[in-house]
Amino acid sequence: MIKAVLFDIDNTLYGYDAAHAMAWEALCAYVQEHLHMDRETFTRRHREAMDIVKERLGVDCAALHDRCLRYQILLEKHGLPLHHALTMSELYWDTLIRSAEPTPGIMECLPILKKAGYILGIGTDMTLEYQLKKLTRLQMLPYFDFLVTSEEVNGEKPDRKLFLTCAQKAGVAPEECLFIGDSLKKDVLGAKNAGMEALWFAPPPEQAAMHPETETIYHYDHLTKKLKCLDFSRKTC
């Protein structure tokens, strides 16, 4: 029986892609004005800085998502004033968080799940601070009983540690958890590998067709029905 419903955040609870596009625009305008760097040059240098961060860290961890770190490296590498790192990071995150819109249906779904008695949790890659800011802006935080971030467990999805810590915090067995996320590899296969049930949220239809064994959900209106199906038959309804 499913007792805990766990969610990824980005592109699951809100539209990351649209919010990121707005934040990236703001960042490009800033570097054009203050660093006299055109969009193409900035995009290339940003990618290089990300590669350096990844190589230096050596493992997938929350610091990979630290934008201030990658801006610092970009500025150092090109002999530019370091004070821009903090401004750029704040500009990016402030714009993204301000632009974040809840996924259709989720704001109706969360109170229904809560009222039905499910334990609600978050399992997410990233640092806690910005994930808390996103959930606060989206007015979702009051519905959740706990969060587990890759910062907290020092391992990114699909690391089992992150999923097992979710189950531990929920106080239930992994098989009593349902994990919902937009990434097949990170969310769905990661959760299943930890012994949980999983739903793939809104995958591109052509990708979903390549994985008919994976249960999908395209709108949160259908989640309560899916939960009933899992409890009654452990199979697709």
Cβ 144 to Mg ion, closest distance in Å? 16
Cβ 167 to Mg ion, closest distance in Å? 19
Count of residues of this chain found to bind Mg ion when the rule CB under 5 A is applied: 4
Judged by beta carbon, residue 28 or residue 128, the one nearer Mg ion is: 128
Backbone angles phi, psi at 43, to 5 degrees: -60, -45
Which residue's beta carbon is nearest to the bound Mg ion?
A: 10
Cβ 209 to Mg ion, closest distance in Å? 20
Judged by beta carbon, residue 182 or residue 197, the one nearer Mg ion is: 182
Q: Which residues contact 95 (CB under 8 A, 6 or more apart)?
A: 19, 22, 23, 25, 26, 27
Q: Which of 134, 27, 19, 28 is nearest to 87 (CA)?
A: 27
Judged by beta carbon, residue 182 or residue 215, the one nearer Mg ion is: 182
Q: Which of 9, 2, 4 is nearest to 122 (CA)?
A: 9
Stretch that binds Mg ion, among 8-16, 61-69, 136-144, 171-179 (CB under 5 A): 8-16
Q: Is 125 in the site for Mg ion (CB under 5 A)?
A: no
Cβ 65 to Mg ion, closest distance in Å? 12
Cβ 28 to Mg ion, closest distance in Å? 24
Judged by beta carbon, residue 15 or residue 52, the one nearer Mg ion is: 15
Judged by beta carbon, residue 174 or residue 203, the one nearer Mg ion is: 203
- Within 135-194, which residues bind Mg ion (CB under 5 A)? 182
Cβ 10 to Mg ion, closest distance in Å? 4
Cβ 23 to Mg ion, closest distance in Å? 16
Q: Which of 190, 170, 174 is nearest to 182 (CA)?
A: 190
- One of 8, 151, 197, 215 touching Mg ion (CB under 5 A): 8
| Cα distance between residue 236 and residue 221, in whole Å | 16
Judged by beta carbon, residue 123 or residue 174, the one nearer Mg ion is: 123
Per-residue contact track with Mg ion, 9 to 28, x per CB under 5 A? -xx-----------------
Judged by beta carbon, residue 11 or residue 165, the one nearer Mg ion is: 11
Which residues contact Mg ion by CB under 5 A? 8, 10-11, 182
